Chain A
Amino acid sequence: MSHKKRKMETDEVVADLPITPMLDMSFQLLSFFIMTFHPTATEGQIAMTLPPAVEGGGSSNPDITAEQPKKYVVRVAANEVGQIAQMTFREEGSPDDGGENLGADINVFRAKIKALSTAERKRIDAAAAKQSKIPPPKLTLELGDKLLQEYVIGLFDAAVQADFSDIAPVPIAKDKR
């Protein structure tokens, strides 16, 4: 009887999964991911408008009865190192050809177009109340050749924040457009 009992005891199989190698491997994987983890800044887009190929292009048969959008032009001259040297603002078709000098501070440009956008929105809302529709204003950025993309994006960024949706960059020299 005791012999039988002892035999039963020795036949018992204990299932033992070796966890240690798995843990070693997991630690190696973990250290690999920790070392290669490099959080990068997320990217986003700003919509831009490509200007028409021909000066004065667009619709070949424009509707002259329709309300035309206001067109603002900001000329941005660049210095030798590609920074903003001077900005001038004008409304297309206005008698003041020289335009308003905004200096080289992008915050002045930001404040100017914000004010314009607010005024334009009021005009659009007033027209909407009279069942009339005014298209959103257009902004053309005439940019100096040396101006770096960093500043181009800065100007776009300020314009988008001021609710402009139609922003077109062009070179200052008309023959390069």
Chain B
Amino acid sequence: MSHGSTDKCEPNMTPLLDLVLQLVMFFMISANFVMEQTSVEVKLPDAISAKPLDQSVDQVIFLNINAKGQVLLPPVDREGDNDTLDNPAQVEGYMKRRAAAEKIKTRKDKPESTLILRIDKLCPFEKSYPIMKACRSAGFSNVQLRAYRFSGQEG
């Protein structure tokens, strides 16, 4: 039995580690972090012509409206423990408070924020229209409807 050689036979792990770390980085970067102002409860409809948000828009307010026509307030916008606005009067009061706060901040006559309505695809128009009206009464004029960007072929 020969005891002459004591060389270790180890696989080189470094390239494997490099590759794994690169994969980890890819998944970390492409992970979809939950947006603070949007609600996963709202299922949006699809639209071919939906465009991504213009980068020049700096002030955006999201309103998440579920299938029952309730406005779901994200944690950052909650006032007290109330996390839903159940009727248009509550929505109007809330939007007026937001408009007043914005007018003080920007020192302008009208709120200039872009209002993005994320309305559930099963919400009937009779529930969503009073919310649009409430936003109009609060002075918001720049309103957009949110949809999933669908890139399918036209029928």
A interface list, Cβ under 8 A from B: 19-20, 22-23, 26-27, 29-30, 33-34, 36-51, 53, 78, 82, 107, 143-150, 152-154, 156-157, 160-161, 169-171, 176-177
Contacts and interface: CB of A to CB of B under 8 A. Distances in A.
Most chain-B Cβ atoms within 10 A of its Cβ — which of A41, A43, A107? A43
Contacts of A152: 119, 125, 128, 145
A50 B13 contact: no
B136 to A, nearest CB: 4
Contacts, number: 153
Contacts of B16: 23
Interface stretch (B28-36, B74-82, B90-98): B28-36
Interface string B129-155: 100110111001101111111100011
A177 to B, nearest CB: 8
Q: Which of B47, B118, B136 has the most CB of A within 10 A?
A: B47
A26 to B, nearest CB: 4
Dominant SS among interface residues on chain B: mixed
Given A50-B141, A157-B47, A149 B155 contact: no
Chain B CB within 10 A, most for which of A26, A45, A148, A171: A45
Given A37-B27, A44-B149, A145 B17 contact: no
Interface of B: 13-14, 16-17, 20-21, 23-24, 27-28, 30-32, 38, 44-53, 116, 118-126, 128-129, 132-133, 135-137, 140-141, 143-150, 154-155
Contacts of A146: 124-126
A53 B136 contact: yes
11 contacts: A19-B13, A20-B13, A26-B21, A37-B27, A42-B52, A44-B53, A49-B143, A78-B125, A152-B128, A153-B47, A154-B47
A46 B125 contact: no
A145 B125 contact: yes
Nearest to B28: A33
B121 A149 contact: yes
B20 A41 contact: no
A39 B24 CA distance: 16
Contacts of A41: 46, 148-150
Contact of A48 (B32, B121, B143): B143
A36 B28 CA distance: 10
A27 B145 contact: no
A104 to B, nearest CB: 15
B49 A33 contact: no
B42 to A, nearest CB: 10
A45 B125 contact: no
B149 A149 contact: no
A154 B23 CA distance: 39
